[in-house]
Amino acid sequence: MTGREPDDYDGRPGPLGHLVGLAVYLVVLGVLSLLANTYPSASWTGLVVFLTATVWVVVVLAVANLLADLLLGLPFPVNLPGVLLRAVAAAVTAWYVVQLLLEVDRLFGLEVFVRLAPFAPLLYAGVFVLVLVGETVRLFTPRTRPG
């Protein structure tokens, strides 16, 4: 296997897709911030404060996924760090989603996700292993072209 060929398409966003996703996230965060300032509410303001405080996590994830895409496009064995980087980024994404759900739980008084918090480390480990195995299998599976 020599890595991804330029004309292969596997349905994933390309390297620029991660940057576009980051830009969309920042625009949505700006709109939410304007709405929270226009219609003040402790819950919504708290959510915007959380999203603003953790924007660095989203930036790091976008850059990590961008680097993983670039590494996975290289020939074997140089592309192997891309698999590990993708798995770490997926586990960090799972962590971020859990933190966001816990914050929503706290702000709106739902008490739903707090009960599931002890299982979060299992989720992170499971996501890491699943993505690591899946990316490794995808790396070594020959691609077939339709038609």
Tell me the domain boundaries of the chain: 15-140
Longest Cα separation, the chain: 56
Res. 102: pLDDT tops 60:
yes
Res. 108: pLDDT tops 90:
no
Q: What is the pTM of this model?
A: 0.80
Q: Write out the DSSP string of 77-144.
A: TTTHHHHHHHHHHHHHHHHHHHHHHHHHHHHHT--SSGGGGGGHHHHHHHHHHHHHHHHHHHHHSPP-
d(CA 142, CA 2): 10
Cis bond before residue 77 (omega within 30° of 0)? yes
At 129, the pLDDT band (50, 70, 90 cuts) reads very high
